[in-house]
Structure 1
Amino acid sequence: MTATRTLPARRLTRLAVAALLAMGAVAAAAQPAQRPNVLLILADNLGYGELGVYGGGPLRGAPTPRIDKLAGEGTRLTNMNMEPQCTPSRSGMLTGRYAIRSGTYAVPLGGVAEGMTQWEVTMAESLAEAGYATALYGKWHLGSHDGRLPNDQGFDEWYGIPRTTYEAMWPGSPGYSPEVTRPEYIMEGRKGEKSRELKVYDMDQRRQMDAELTRRTVDFMERQSHAGKPFFAFTSLTQPHFPSVPNAKWAGKTGNGDWADMLAEMDANVGQMLDAVDRLGLRSNTIVIFASDNGAEHLRPWDGWSGPWRGEYFSAYEGGIRVPFMIRWPGKIPAGRVSNELVHGTDVFPTIAHMTGARVPDDRPIDGMDQSAFLEGKTDKSPREGILIWVDNRLQAVKWHQYKMHLYKQDDMESPPAKLPVPYIFDLYTNPREDEHKRGPSWVLNPMLKMIGAFEASTKTYPLIPMGTPDPYQPPVAAKP
């Protein structure tokens, strides 16, 4: 009989523990890394100078401590550029394409099949394909009929308004009749179903809207957290778009008027969403972005503030396109960092796709650039050298590094555009107000014209989609070189 040796119990326990740990390490290595959640909060017509960290806050009648703190917890950009109108900027963010390519280059005024064709691939569709739960709460402005609403463009659910906030003023206007002009309705919908109208969007609902968007965003994050599913929550706030009024609970809070009360409310709503992220234990694995869709509100008495820049929305001046932008992802994106590197709204989709492992389509021109290495601090430089700036369907300006070329002169949305016989060229470092009497060097025309030429060459292979193009849309077959 062969003698057997019994291992001491202590040594057996150590070996068992080591084996279990090794097995756990192998299993963990075999599992994909947990994908980060995405909370994108987009303000509507929030000027560059409104928030405390951008020189506003108390100067505008209301401190913005929660948004300011968010900026310090991540990276804040001082040279984030959007399209100068609501519809184009949202289209660009969600598709990664200049809105001129998608037929979404201007705010639609009705009478056409406005919005994005279903051929466009949105960030929501890409994230849904990658296994994310997706939701939009708030303003859409990329199509107001079934087939072109958020639940037709990649969002599992949505609640909000299909068009814009100023229509809330219609029901209370003297002589208004819904038989003559149908009011805008608050709507909701789910993927695979038709959206339904809930109630007329009037001034009472306008005051309540952003509080409701905040509540629904928090509820969505709670549901997905409990389900263990990564999420993309797009909270498209309606403030401060005119009429710029606060919720009744905030009216009179600051003592400095509606605008300041509204700004204080916005800051508190953002704080509620951030608190929910922390309460759910999702802080370290959630990318939080706060931005504005374009420059400051123009119409009085609700006019906003562009800080040091000239112009407001609907203009190619810096005040029309340069917006607040901050992004937080603890452990991935450096905290307390401020950069003046050039970034564009079309960069959001490719960047988020890289951070989440989602797909960016490769069968069409994508104007956005992946900014993940720059935002994560792996490089100090943005890969972007310049942007093209359209106002409606006019190429109005070109920006290359700190230089700007204007092809048209247009002071604001109510001024007619005037084609310039000789372009204005500005150095934004020495002439941030884009003063026509202080011109920049003409040699910068060379790289700017190359940018225009490259874009125009791409349209020969991939023609621009005209505004009002109905579904189904299929691009023409590209000619073989």
Structure 2
Amino acid sequence: MSKDPNRPNIVLILADNLGWGELGCYGGGALRGASTPRIDNFATEGLLLHNFNVESDCVPTRSALMTGRHPIRTGCLQSVPAGFPQGLTLWEKTLPECLREEGYATAHHGKWHLGDIPGRYPSDRGFDEWFGIPRTTDESQFTSAIGFDAEVAELPYIMQGTAGQPSTEVCVYDLEKRRLIDEMLVEKSKNWLSRKASAKAPFFLYHPLVHLHFPTLPHPDFERSTGNGEFADSMVEMDFRVGQLLDHIDDIGVRENTVVIFASDNGPEFRPPYRGTAGPWSGTYHTAMEGSLRVPFIIRWPGKVPQNVTSNEMVHITDIFTTAIAIAGATKPKDRPIDGIDQVRFFQSPTVEKSEREGFLFYLKDDLRAIKWRHWKLHLIWEPKVNQSSGKLESPYLFNTLRDPKEEGDILAYNTWVLQPMMKLRAAFQKSLAEDPARIKPMT
């Protein structure tokens, strides 16, 4: 394990479709029928962000995290079925690839969703080893679906692999394994962390949970534990699994030199009965509403990040790529535009420093849907709920997210000055996009 403060270990835990309003420390917890004491306590040990932003879907967010680049650059625009080209091209350089160059050991245990063919599995993209699912968890319903035909549709598998070797199938991913998988993933991560604790090299563990993605089904040990249904039971299990990882970090003696980040990849699910909540924000994932963009984020870095602090400063998922590289003393790619901003200074002094991010453009697939700048939000296409788009707006809608968190009252007519900085932001990004080597000459 690394004891060098200039090369801290990094553990990144990513929940799946955990809405802003679910956890107790974000105003949910018991109000949602499921207390989350472990994550709530973890939030008091570091910095909690209220304005941490992600992309629209599982694949776009994970690609942005792994590359520091918006998915409109990388082509990772949406989740697609098995058997279709998907994931990161070999030209994109990933976070674990950058960290490995600095001597970090790397592991991935969980949901990948950035490539499901040889050459694009996690162990091909910078991770020393991996265990989990290559795509998404709703595929666990396949084998019990009426009329499912394995001759025309691919079976979903839990897989594993090590760098330099082909990834292999472990078992079919069905509804039984859906209930067990987060337990399996935690055991894999605990085992790996124990092995790395006796080594001298620093480590990077990426642990993307399966909870709370639909079907949101709890482990049998947690079934009926809340009396409030399977979603609440799954929330309690997720909190417990995060606690297991935090306890193990303590048990192996690496807490003081380990940065732990907990976040979510997307806003809440919109499909009943697994529908989640974004708290004070409107919308779910697959929209450009704040409920899609804003998700939980907590960082603990003993002695570096102050305890029990919250902030409404803006941070984006691409920033985690750049920030993790800075924490590790690694080098980010210089041959392509990187959208992520180094937030180390802000994270270390959140009551004094401001985030260096003032805004970003939000695309949903190929469409520029919205622009965020400071506390202002401009919608170019209006879709407050999934599949309820009114199309491109001749006169865009403008909201102030401080005064109008649910984005209910358009105030563009009284604040047209805001278009100036927003259009400058758009022009600069689109110029960069036009000059991006990955788009001028796509790399395989």
Aligned to 1:136: 108
After superposition, give the CA deviation of every residue in 1:294-314 in whole Å (9 maximum; x if it has no partner): 101111110001100000001
State yes or no: 1:385 paired with 2:358. Answer: yes
Contact 1:296 1:303 in 2 (8 A): yes
Q: In 2 relative to 1, CA 466–55 (structure 1 residues): closer, same or farther, beyond 3 Å? A: farther
State yes or no: 1:432 paired with 2:405. Answer: yes
Offset of 1:226 from its aligned partner?
1.5
Q: TM-score, normalised by structure 2?
A: 0.96
After superposition, give the CA deviation of every residue in 1:412-449 in whole Å (9 maximum; x if it has no partner): 33334611111101111111101145556221111111
Offset of 1:465 from its aligned partner?
3.9
* Counterpart among 224, 247, 253 of residue 275 in structure 1: 247
Contact 1:103 1:464 in 2 (8 A): no
**310-319 vs 417-426, which moves further:** 417-426
Correspondence list, 1:52-201, <5 A: 52-110=24-82, 112-201=84-173
Contact 1:102 1:466 in 2 (8 A): no
* Counterpart among 393, 396, 402 of residue 369 in structure 2: 396
Q: TM-score, normalised by structure 1?
A: 0.89
State yes or no: 1:374 paired with 2:371. Answer: no
**In structure 2, distance between residues paired with 1:174 and 1:411:** 33
Q: Secondary structure at the match of 1:94?
A: helix
* Counterpart among 179, 190, 201 of residue 229 in structure 1: 201
Q: Secondary structure at the match of 1:115?
A: coil
Q: Secondary structure at the match of 2:198?
A: helix
After superposition, give the CA deviation of every residue in 1:301-338 in whole Å (9 maximum; x if it has no partner): 10001100000001100000100000000100010110
Offset of 1:36 from its aligned partner?
0.7
Q: Secondary structure at the match of 1:326?
A: strand
After superposition, give the CA deviation of every residue in 1:345-367 in whole Å (9 maximum; x if it has no partner): 00001111111111111110000
Counterpart code for 2:354: K
State yes or no: 1:446 paired with 2:420. Answer: yes
Offset of 1:32 from its aligned partner?
6.4
Q: Secondary structure at the match of 1:42?
A: strand
**In structure 1, distance between residues paired with 2:82 and 2:149:** 17
Counterpart code for 2:190: V
Q: In 2 relative to 1, CA 32–206 (structure 1 residues): closer, same or farther, beyond 3 Å? A: closer
**In structure 1, distance between residues paired with 2:246 and 2:60:** 28
Aligned to 2:315: 343
Contact 1:106 1:393 in 2 (8 A): no
**In structure 2, distance between residues paired with 1:110 and 1:175:** 17
Aligned to 2:393: 420
**In structure 1, distance between residues paired with 2:389 and 2:360:** 23
**In structure 1, distance between residues paired with 2:385 and 2:44:** 33
**220-229 vs 244-253, which moves further:** 220-229
Higher radius of gyration, 1 or 2: 1
**In structure 1, distance between residues paired with 2:410 and 2:167:** 53
Contact 2:266 2:293 in 1 (8 A): yes
Contact 1:296 1:319 in 2 (8 A): yes
4+ residue segments displaced more than 3 Å: 31-34, 109-112, 436-440, 463-467
**392-401 vs 404-413, which moves further:** 404-413
Correspondence list, 1:274-293, <5 A: 274-293=246-265
Q: Secondary structure at the match of 2:236?
A: helix
**In structure 2, distance between residues paired with 1:49 and 1:228:** 40
* Counterpart among 378, 393, 411 of residue 405 in structure 1: 378
Contact 1:408 1:423 in 2 (8 A): yes
Offset of 1:466 from its aligned partner?
9.4
**In structure 2, distance between residues paired with 1:363 and 1:313:** 32
Correspondence list, 1:241-280, <5 A: 241-280=213-252
Q: Secondary structure at the match of 1:101?
A: helix
Aligned to 1:455: 429
Counterpart code for 1:63: S
Q: In 2 relative to 1, CA 134–405 (structure 1 residues): closer, same or farther, beyond 3 Å? A: same
Contact 1:431 1:438 in 2 (8 A): no
Contact 2:38 2:243 in 1 (8 A): yes
Contact 1:101 1:463 in 2 (8 A): no
**In structure 2, distance between residues paired with 1:385 and 1:260:** 36
**In structure 2, distance between residues paired with 1:417 and 1:356:** 45
**In structure 2, distance between residues paired with 1:392 and 1:261:** 33
Contact 1:313 1:412 in 2 (8 A): no
Q: Secondary structure at the match of 2:208?
A: strand
Offset of 1:155 from its aligned partner?
0.4
Identity of aligned residues (%): 47
Counterpart code for 2:125: Q
Offset of 1:35 from its aligned partner?
1.6
**In structure 1, distance between residues paired with 2:175 and 2:5:** 46
Query: What is the CA RMSD across the aligned residues, in angstroms?
Result: 1.6
Contact 2:212 2:235 in 1 (8 A): yes
**In structure 1, distance between residues paired with 2:302 and 2:264:** 22
Counterpart code for 1:194: P
